[in-house]
Structure 1
Amino acid sequence: MISLVDDAALLSPKEMAERLASLTSDGKTVSDYYGNGGAVEAFEARIAAHLGKERAVVFPTGTLANLCAMRLLAGTDNARILVHRDGHFFNDAGDNLAALGRFTMVPLAGEGAGFEAADVEHEIARAASARVAARIGCIAIESPSRRIDGRRFGSGRIAAIAEVAREHGVPMFLDGARMLIECAVTGQSPADMAAPFDLVYLSLYKYLDAPFGCVLAGEAALLDDVYHQRRAYGGGLWQMWPAAVMAQDKLSRFDALWAEVVRHVEAVFAAMEGGPVAVERFADGTNAVRLILPRAPGDPAAFAARAQRLGLKLPPLAGDRMTVKFNESWLAAEPAALARKLRELAE
């Protein structure tokens, strides 16, 4: 099945078990102890270097990692966190920063997936003018943004906001769950993307083949003792080495794999030119594009059945269009063959 929905060719339980068995068949993999030591420690060192940071720590879930990140950066005294109105923090974590961290999220809106340095300056001034003492504890930036078609926040905006943050002593956090995909598409190195931020979050399961998990990366002084918080908040899994082993393997192949994916996708889109299905790209996009059909399907059930016969996993339609993602599953068909399948959706 070629997925137009996911960020990777997701592994079945059988495929994941076979991959993990193969990766550990030499008997050299060392287990961790509640997330410390062994294969987890080795992976943490590898991913920290990849992101240009001193230290990285594996967490079982992103929700837990983000909460701990805010506690590390913003403290525990009810600080305000600047977030994007349509981003992950404000919409997809059950307001856990407020419920568990006593933080107040301040949602900002801007063009596309970003907001502006002027918005940040405005909120810093607003907090300073409050009759009851208030402060901005952290600026949280998500890039790319899942809810906004995988679009990027923008390096220019980030640089301008970082300058304001430095001036006012406000730490910055990158929700970079899919940042390696952004880097693969733009050519920016992960270390350069991560550089302006005090802490960086990266998912391990969305496209690095791990069964669960994520990492926080930043200065060692921030992260060396964070495992206490990880365990206090219920994240002290007995062993996390399967996630580390799987992610380490995918990371070692990721750059070459995604260079091939990007070349392949360009050939697919070139083969679709002039056909009945139009491709609309986002100027600030990553691995998501919009496909536009000649007309909205009259029979959605028949359309879904046609996609199934063609071996395509599709996202929901919005009238005559749908936002799709490309990933390594697209490599399963030659560009001309995949372009033909996508054209057949319009029949």
Structure 2
Amino acid sequence: MHLRDDPGWRADTRFLSHHERLSAAEWLDRLREAPGLDALPDQYNEGPGLRELEAEVATLLGKPAGRFVLKGVIAQQAMLRVWTERGGTPVVALHSRSHIELDEDGGYQRLHGLVPVRLGTWSPFTVADLDAVAERIGVVVVELPIRRAGHKLPSWAELTAISEWCRERGVPLHFDGARLWESAPYYGRSLAEIAALADSVYVSLYKTIGGLGGCVLAGDEEPITRTRPWTTRHGGNLYTVFPYVLAARAGLRKHLPRMAEYRERALGLAAALARVPGVRVAPEPPHTNAFQVYLPGTPDRLTAANRKLLERENVWLFAHFTETPVPGLAMAEVGTGSSTAAFTDSEAAELVARLVEEAR
């Protein structure tokens, strides 16, 4: 059972991960406080508030241009299409456990005829992996962090080496930075310093930023502009997106300054959970504000136990549980945010211990 399928949580339910859940009325109240509220709404991707958001994100990333897109799936497929067409080869080098590969129903292949070269397994790929590719590559994609591999990041040395490899060969480097905001504390560098390694960057405007949805593609003006017809062909040219714009601008001010705090909380929380008998966390320590938790039990039994804790304690520990290759071991995720402050590390560990015991 996933959180979005469960109607049992209440307005005062405490969530271990992410931010406080808002009702529709609460969202409207928050949007009334957002910067740019008095600007006229955008129409078909044109409007002052939208332009200000795009410029703000581009500046944060140190890029000349930024472009809002309703969905990251649309944005990244358009960007990959632009880069591969420019390079004259459909080959995309990407991690085998990347979002583009595992969570988009093969869209980049089915809709754009792109050809994957899958690199890496449970760790980020390296220059050695790129050297082993026998085909001419049209674009290299690095996901920061790789969620499906445990929210792992390459080292700064590895990341700069990949950037240098691409530039020496004239191959565009694209960062799938859906969680780039959360990655900066690990590197101890500014967002612009990280983004400078890539030719194009995608960043999400919801996730830890806490917006309603949407994203920004950033890079040089010419390739970013060339994504426009492809995002339109994907149905991404909505009449207006001003609620997304307002929510994103509010989220950047509320949560972006707290990314280092969220990661520090993840370090302490992961250490506490790792001391619960039978529980493991990965990576240890976490690279970002998010990490995987491995628990004894089956997904069905852990889901039932999670629901009982909701009914008894009004707490929601995990959104869902995933089967692993190890029998009797399931995986869940934690992503710290403002709602995590409702728990101490010791209380969270005690609740997880009770969850495990209940699931036996």
TM-score range, shorter chain: 0.7 to 0.9
- The amino acid across from 1:57 in the alignment is R
Moved over 6 A (4+): none
Q: Deviations over 1:66-115 (max 9, x none)?
A: 121112222165521111112112222222222222221111224x3411
Between 184-193 and 163-172, the greater mean CA deviation after superposition: 184-193
Pair 1:45-2:55 in alignment:
yes
Distance in 1 between residues matched to 2:273 and 2:111, nearest whole Å: 49
- The amino acid across from 2:146 in the alignment is S
Match of 1:260 in 2: 261
CA contact (8 A) 2:127 2:162 kept: yes
SS at match of 1:170: coil
Pair 1:324-2:324 in alignment:
no
- The amino acid across from 2:52 in the alignment is A
Q: 1:312 to 1:342 in 2, by over 3 A?
A: same
- The amino acid across from 1:342 in the alignment is V
2:307 to 302, 305, 308: 305
Match of 1:70 in 2: 80
Pair 1:102-2:113 in alignment:
yes
Distance in 1 between residues matched to 2:259 and 2:343, nearest whole Å: 16
Distance in 2 between residues matched to 1:317 and 1:330, nearest whole Å: 22
Q: Cα offset for 1:199?
A: 0.4
Distance in 2 between residues matched to 1:147 and 1:96, nearest whole Å: 18
Q: 1:206 to 1:200 in 2, by over 3 A?
A: same
Q: Cα offset for 1:266?
A: 4.5
Distance in 2 between residues matched to 1:334 and 1:122, nearest whole Å: 47
Q: Cα offset for 1:302?
A: 5.0
1:288 to 278, 290, 293: 290
Q: 1:320 to 1:92 in 2, by over 3 A?
A: closer
- Superposition RMSD in Å: 2.8
Q: Cα offset for 1:276?
A: 4.1
Q: How many residues align?
A: 334
Q: Identity, % of aligned pairs?
A: 26
Q: Cα offset for 1:46?
A: 0.5
Pair 1:32-2:36 in alignment:
no
Match of 1:117 in 2: 127
Distance in 2 between residues matched to 1:265 and 1:81, nearest whole Å: 33
CA contact (8 A) 1:165 1:172 kept: yes
Q: 1:280 to 1:42 in 2, by over 3 A?
A: same
- The amino acid across from 2:50 in the alignment is V
TM-score for the superposition, normalised by structure 2: 0.82
CA contact (8 A) 2:265 2:289 kept: no
Distance in 2 between residues matched to 1:91 and 1:208, nearest whole Å: 23
Unaligned runs of 5+ in 2: 1-12
Q: 1:153 to 1:30 in 2, by over 3 A?
A: farther
SS at match of 1:202: strand
Distance in 1 between residues matched to 2:59 and 2:91, nearest whole Å: 31
- The amino acid across from 1:68 in the alignment is A
